Chain A
Amino acid sequence: MATTGTSFIKHEVAHHFDNAEQEFESAKLGMWAFMAQEILFFSALFVAYAIFRYLYPEAFLEASSLLSWKMGAFNTAVLITSSFTMVMAVNSAQTSQKKKTFNFLLVTILLAALFLVVKYFEYMSKFHHGIFPPNYFNAMAVFEQVPIFFGIYFVITGLHALHILIGIGLIIWIMRRTARGEFHADYFTPVELVGLYWHFVDLVWIFLFPLLYLVG
Chain B
Amino acid sequence: MSTKTIKNYLNCETGIMSWLTTLDHKRIGVMYLLFIAISFGLGGFFALALRMELLTPTQLYLTAKQYNQAFTLHGAVMVFLFIIPSIPAALGNFVLPLQLGAKDVAFPRLNLASFYVYVLGAAFAIFSLFNGAVDTGWTFYTPYSTQSDTSVISMTLAAFILGFSSILTGVNFIATIHKMRAPGMTWFRMPLFVWALYATAIIQILATPVVGITLLLLIFESTFGVGIFDPALGGDPILFQHFFWFYSHPAVYIMVLPAMGVMSELVTTFCKKNIFGYKLIAYSSLAIAIISFLVWGHHLFLSGQSSYANMIFSLLTFLVGIPSGIKVFNWVTTMYKGTIDLKTPFLYFLSFLFLFCIGGFTGMFLGALSVDVHLHDTYFVVAHFHYTMMGGVVMAFLGGLHYWWPKMFGKMYSEKWGRIAAAFVFVGFNWVFFTQFILGTKGMPRRYYNYLDQFQPLHAFSTMGTFVLGTGFIIMAVYLIHSLFKGEKAPANPWGGLTLEWVADTPPDHHNFHETPTVTTGPYDYEKAGY
Known: A33-B205, A135-B224, A148-B234. A44 touches B214 (CB 8 A): yes
Given contacts A44-B210, A133-B225, contact A148 B175 (CB under 8 A): no
Q: Which residues of B184-224 have CB atoms within 8 Å of chain A's CB atoms?
A: 205-210, 212-214, 217, 220, 223-224
In the bound complex, how far is the Cα of B180 from the Cα of A148, in angstroms?
Answer: 47
Contacts of B176 in A (CB 8 A): 26
Q: Is the CB of B234 within 8 A of A52?
A: yes
- Do A132 and B180 touch (CB < 8 A)? no
The answer to whether the Cβ of B178 comes within 8 Å of any Cβ in the partner chain is yes
Interface of B is mostly: helix
State A215–B149 Cα separation when bound (angstroms). 38
Q: Are B180 and A26 interface neighbours, CB within 8 A?
A: yes
Contact yes or no, B106 A26, CB < 8 A: yes
Most A Cβ at <10 Å: residue of B104, B212, B235:
B235
Does A181 lie at the interface of the complex (its beta carbon under 8 Å from any beta carbon of B)? no
CA distance A51 to B170 in the complex (A): 30
On whether the beta carbons of A148 and B233 are closer than 8 Å, the reply is yes
Interface residues of B (CB under 8 A from A): 102-104, 106-108, 110, 167, 170-172, 174-176, 178-180, 205-210, 212-214, 217, 220, 223-228, 230, 233-236, 239, 243, 246, 511
- Residues of A in contact (CB 8 Å), total 40
A139 CB, min distance to chain B CBs, angstroms: 14
Closest Cβ–Cβ distance, residue A54 to chain B (whole Å):
12
How distant is the Cα of A22 from the Cα of B246 in the complex, in angstroms?
35
Q: How many A-B residue pairs have CB under 8 A?
A: 127
Which chain A residues in 11-25 approach chain B with CB under 8 Å? Answer: 14-16, 22, 25
- Indicate if the CB atoms of B208 and A29 lie closer than 8 Å: no
Complex interface bits, A146-173 against B, C-beta within 8 A gives 1, otherwise 0: 0110011001000000000000000000
Docked complex Cα distance between A155 and B195 (Å): 37
B180, B226, B511: which contacts A155 (Cβ < 8 A)?
Answer: B226
Q: List 25 A-B contacts (CB under 8 A).
A: A16-B102, A26-B175, A26-B176, A26-B180, A30-B171, A33-B171, A33-B174, A34-B205, A37-B208, A40-B210, A41-B213, A43-B213, A44-B213, A44-B214, A45-B213, A47-B243, A59-B234, A134-B224, A134-B225, A136-B225, A137-B225, A147-B225, A148-B227, A151-B227, A152-B226
| Residues of chain A having any CB pair with chain B under 8 Å | 14-16, 22, 25-27, 29-30, 33-34, 36-38, 40-45, 47-48, 51-52, 55-56, 59, 132-137, 144-145, 147-148, 151-152, 155
Distance between A9 CB and nearest chain B CB, rounded to angstroms: 19
Do B228 and A151 touch across chains, with their CB atoms under 8 A apart?
yes
A25 contacts across to B, CB distance below 8 A: 179
Q: How far is the CA of A59 from the CA of B226 in the complex (A)?
A: 15
Report how far A93 CA is from B138 CA in the complex, Å: 48
Residues of A within 8 A of B227 (CB): 133-134, 145, 147-148, 151-152
A15 to B179, CA, bound (A): 15
B174 and chain A: residue at smallest CB distance: A33
Contact B209–A37 (Cβ < 8 Å): yes
Q: How far is the CB of A32 from the nearest CB of chain B, in Å?
A: 9
Shortest Cβ gap from A82 to chain B (Å):
25
